[in-house]
Amino acid sequence: MNYGTIATWRMAHDGVIKANELLQNSGSSDDALEITVKSVEDYPFYKSVGFGGLPNAKGILEMDAAFMNGDTFQLGAVAGITDIKNPISVARKLSHEKFNSFLVGQGATDYAIEEGFEEKEMLTERARKIWSNRLDDIKKHNLSAYDGHDTVGVVTLDKQGSMTAGTSSSGLFMKRPGRVGDSPLSGSGFYVDSEIGGASATGLGEDLMKGCLAYEIVRKMKEGLSPQEACDQTLYSFHDLLTKRYGKAGAFSLIAMNNRGQWGVATNVEFTFSVGNQEKEPAIFIANMGNNHSTIIEPISQEWLDAYEKRIKAPIK
């Protein structure tokens, strides 16, 4: 029986391992998705998701997350939620609500508290220092304030044939308070249909939401394209279209898996991801844009992993 998990960025790998153990033992795609995202939300050295994520321009960490079940299309999302340990769990709970299933700001935080989700001061001292250093740099060197939008996006498939997609992100570093990216938006940050497959995005939300790329990839898989063909055709055509019509395209990457556990990715920037299915144990890969709307995918090197580990834990002055 087929099963699998695919997730954006190297940071998701430990969660993908846990998810696939669960799926191998006939666990549900919903649980596998939540496990994957929580493992990223809980790790303090990842600067773009959950605990340790970087704050907005006012120094407040506002988080976005979404959860979608591909059997029923039940979908829950939060945007701008603050000081709640696991936004993905709140999004999952909201996916069971017939009304009010997408909550923002204080409404999302209040809901999470009322429903008994764990509260936690999510801004770490390390993230606060990075924010304060950035404020100084912006003033001194007239830099662009905006940086960093490495969402964790995940698609899971269980042995029963159910699929789930979800995201979690602290969004753009130094964003305006109230800014929301693609991550909690159905069709842009994620989409899943268990009869076809699912997709999820990471990158500049302002550009991703111009193309509804996650939905488009699922739609193309429905037409019979493989996940890799659907990712290549969707992302690179949109990159070209946006460059032509808008003048530039921000960095973005998409992952997809179909309901047979086959997967694909496409990206216009160097992009790491983790994937495992019924045939292969989870592994980390690195992807780059190739020629003629293709993607070059290679196994990650130990050298890259060592440099990454050093970079994310480097002391902040």
Residues 6 or more apart whose Cβ sits within 8 Å of residue 163 = 29, 70, 71, 155, 156, 157, 192, 193, 194, 197, 198, 257, 259
Among 52, 87, 205, 264, binds ligand GLY (CB under 6 A): 205
Question: Does 86 sit near ligand GLY (CB under 6 A)?
Answer: no
Residue 151 annotated as catalytic: yes
To ligand GLY, the closest distance from the beta carbon of 172 in angstroms equals 5
Q: For residue 214, which of 158, 272, 171, 151 has the smallest C-alpha distance?
A: 151
Q: Which residue is nearest to ligand GLY (CB)?
A: 181
Residue at token pair 């993908």: 16
Q: For residue 48, which of 188, 186, 203, 157 has the smallest C-alpha distance?
A: 203
Reported as half-sphere exposure (CB side, CA atoms, 13 A), residue 19 has a value of: 37
In terms of CB distance, is 214 or 257 closer to ligand GLY?
214
In terms of CB distance, is 8 or 89 closer to ligand GLY?
8
Question: Does 80 sit near ligand GLY (CB under 6 A)?
Answer: no
Among 52, 203, 227, 276, binds ligand GLY (CB under 6 A): 203
316 conformational bin, left if phi > 0, alpha if psi -120 to 50, beta if neither = beta
> 110 to 149, contacts with ligand GLY by CB under 6 A?
149
Residue 199, burial from CB neighbour count under 10 angstroms (0-12, 13-18, 19+) = buried
In terms of CB distance, is 181 or 276 closer to ligand GLY?
181
Site string for ligand GLY, 166-195 (x = CB under 6 A): ---x-xx--------xxx------------
Identity at 189, one-letter amino acid code: G
Residue numbers at the binding site for ligand GLY (CB under 6 A) = 149, 151, 169, 171-172, 181-183, 202-205
Q: Which residues are catalytic?
A: 151
